Structure 1
């Protein structure tokens, strides 16, 4: 039996060409480029304000109070305040403050009606030390503004609105991932598309991301404000991975995956617990996060700020000075921040990826003292394994690790890819374990993997 004409390579190529050259699609491309600019500006001011508030809470205010660094008890009032602010947002505002972090980055786009709650929840709680990242709120900003722009536009059908919302989210998250490359790979892998569908969706997202990243970076240089992109200015000296790095690296990647999977399981239990008496239990969960952060400071004698927030600053310090932490301090960081992150996943609002990357890197660095296991390979595989475990996207995770490690990534690529695949497989094996009703119910009610931002596979 011969295949229909539109299923042959020539037919598929002709269909794609007709789609790309159609007036409606060309208008869609232009619209996505134009939307990338205001979305990038909104993300720039969002991230800039967030960083200014973080600096005020964790640096300026302690110094004003006479402390050189935040004392051990500093996270307790900060996180109680975060819970008190978040509780009415979750219970009373449309959209409940945005997606639950335990659901990953996927789900239906945040519409204009739910956008104020998502922005308020992020700006009011992330600077106070909530151990979550800005990536999910930024994607909400991108999709919400994109849908707002086309809400009254004539000639924009439901399918085009979905593409525009995806392009807005992709443009937003590309601003903190260093450009459109990682965001584009997230889109392709997360959406599970191929052929003409992938190209037709990828082009608007790439153009919106490129335009947005250009504006975002330009404003950062012009204003001098921190733009909050995930970056590692300094990394350990590079070295070719050898047998020892693989010997210790593979079980380390598996250990990271198990830790992330167990934390997410606890996060799903927290979702069930906070479903009733949500306001009170949200405050209780935020307080528990503060207790974990204070415990880290008491155990190690170090600043609680290292365990608080998204982990971007601590990740950069750990990469630049890997030997400034003892093994005990790294273990305490993984234990205390990991427990705080697990609680926050099911009760607070923010992104799950950045803290997971720090936890994976800290775990790998704690193991880097093993014979034949270097700091540079540990850094690379920690980023890749943790990202793959939390997002479920091994290719995008490997690309993220390569971009973060920088010029030394070429030598580390075999280990980066191996760690990403091992972490992904181990995560799937852990998830196959029998689940309780409390764990399965939130997942069953979760967003459709085929909808949303193109990263819905991040579960």
Structure 2
């Protein structure tokens, strides 16, 4: 790019001057163009991940004579995941990606870190690591976007490179989070900007994610490949929430907030523990995750795949047949998967959002038998609350839950909005209490 985006950090620059500048117009055109190859790369990534996951958890057990993975299946799978990840975390540039417990924030990943991120994701997530593909996808999007801008020009115009890298990340994340709308809202809320700064950042991201989403959908229809996007093909019957749903839902949102925040806190502990003797302790943490998943299968008699992996498949099954799980099975799922997710957040690599959505949904459905409390509102508030706790983005969480609920979304919107805010506030209050505890010497 011969010209850079005018300095949007200065509020003195009129917005129309920024939008009409040659540098910004070029940035918009490049953002639209880069959405195509990024969408193609993301499609290949998620298709390959899903193919490997299908082989590990479905095809290989059937080849060995099992209808579903046996209870012991997670033990060798997670051991292998730890052995594959340990050298990446300790020796490869970028360490295989950022630590998931820190969220999805931070500067866009550069091309140098990209090989390690992709290998870590493809080598470990399909083996049962309780994390999602969203963080590796964002790294893939930003890395490919920055590859299109020569390093010398990135150094000369770091602000334009940052916007361009963010647009690439947005394109990637939109492919698995319901489309450009969720990704755009996430950028708006996470950026914490207002006025001209927000518009300047949002337009390239929205344009790139829109073009990329269209291309991504086209590839899926053309090839017929199944990908691991976060979606609910079927939801419980349409029921409008009433006073009873709010009376049960708001306290339940607080409970979900506390449980998810506690599991998330475990991620900080595992991250601190693996700072020393990283390679060995990474493998130990992976094995511990395998033990927890195995415990779920032994206690409930159900498939260990429900507690392993990112959770989008189990989420779809739970929404389609919420009463196929007993309350006891859902409680054990939350306990085992929640602990496994917490360990993975600090010790392994991937995205933090997907498993939290299943945890929130499982807690909601487990409580849906309470008098006057419907299954559909319970599912909706569980998704919104858990996502808000993890992302600390209540508006994004509400939009994501709205899109996941499909035809019933309009009816559930008031409860979704309230519980997203309740989950966010609960997480903030718990954070303040933990910080105060540190100040007094408490844990």
Q: By the TM > 0.5 criterion, same fold?
A: yes
Alpha-carbon distance, 1:226 to partner: 1.1
Structure 2 counterpart of 1:199: 199
Structure 1 counterpart of 2:284: 284
Structure 2 counterpart of 1:416: 416
Q: 1:436 to 1:89 in 2, by over 3 A?
A: farther
Deviation string for 1:393-423 (max 9, x for gaps)? 0001000000000111111111000100000
CA distance in 2, matches of 1:322, 1:90: 38
Does the Cα contact within 8 Å between 2:235 and 2:376 map onto a contact in 1?
Answer: yes
- Structure 1's unaligned 5+ residue stretches are 1-10, 440-459
Alpha-carbon distance, 1:178 to partner: 2.0
Does the Cα contact within 8 Å between 1:241 and 1:412 map onto a contact in 2?
Answer: yes
Alpha-carbon distance, 1:253 to partner: 0.7
Q: How does 1:33-72 map to 2 (within 5 A)?
A: 33-72=32-71
44-53 vs 240-249, which deviates more?
Answer: 240-249
Alpha-carbon distance, 1:157 to partner: 0.8
Does the Cα contact within 8 Å between 1:268 and 1:438 map onto a contact in 2?
Answer: no
Q: How does 1:364-383 map to 2 (within 5 A)?
A: 364-383=364-383
Alpha-carbon distance, 1:263 to partner: 1.1
CA distance in 2, matches of 1:253, 1:263: 15
Does the Cα contact within 8 Å between 1:272 and 1:438 map onto a contact in 2?
Answer: no
CA-atom RMSD in angstroms? 1.7
1:306 aligns with 2:306: yes
Deviation string for 1:337-382 (max 9, x for gaps)? 0000000000000000000000000001000010011000011101
236-245 vs 57-66, which deviates more?
Answer: 236-245
Does the Cα contact within 8 Å between 1:269 and 1:438 map onto a contact in 2?
Answer: no
Does the Cα contact within 8 Å between 2:69 and 2:304 map onto a contact in 1?
Answer: yes
Q: How does 1:7-406 map to 2 (within 5 A)?
A: 15-152=14-151, 154=153, 157-406=157-406
Q: TM-score, normalised by structure 2?
A: 0.95
What number of residue pairs does the alignment pair up?
A: 429
SS of 1:226's equivalent in the other structure is: coil
Structure 2 counterpart of 1:456: none
SS of 2:201's equivalent in the other structure is: helix
Does the Cα contact within 8 Å between 2:101 and 2:267 map onto a contact in 1?
Answer: yes
Does the Cα contact within 8 Å between 2:239 and 2:411 map onto a contact in 1?
Answer: yes
Alpha-carbon distance, 1:282 to partner: 0.1
SS of 1:433's equivalent in the other structure is: helix
Q: Comparing both chains, which one has the higher relative contact order based on Cα–Cα distances under 8 Å and sequence gaps of 6 or more?
A: 1
Q: TM-score, normalised by structure 1?
A: 0.91
CA distance in 2, matches of 1:169, 1:250: 34
Structure 2 counterpart of 1:4: none
Does the Cα contact within 8 Å between 1:217 and 1:227 map onto a contact in 2?
Answer: no
Alpha-carbon distance, 1:112 to partner: 0.7
CA distance in 2, matches of 1:46, 1:436: 43
Alpha-carbon distance, 1:428 to partner: 0.5
CA distance in 2, matches of 1:333, 1:146: 39
Q: Moved runs in structure 1, 4+ residues, more than 4 A? A: 11-14, 152-156, 435-439
CA distance in 2, matches of 1:324, 1:129: 23
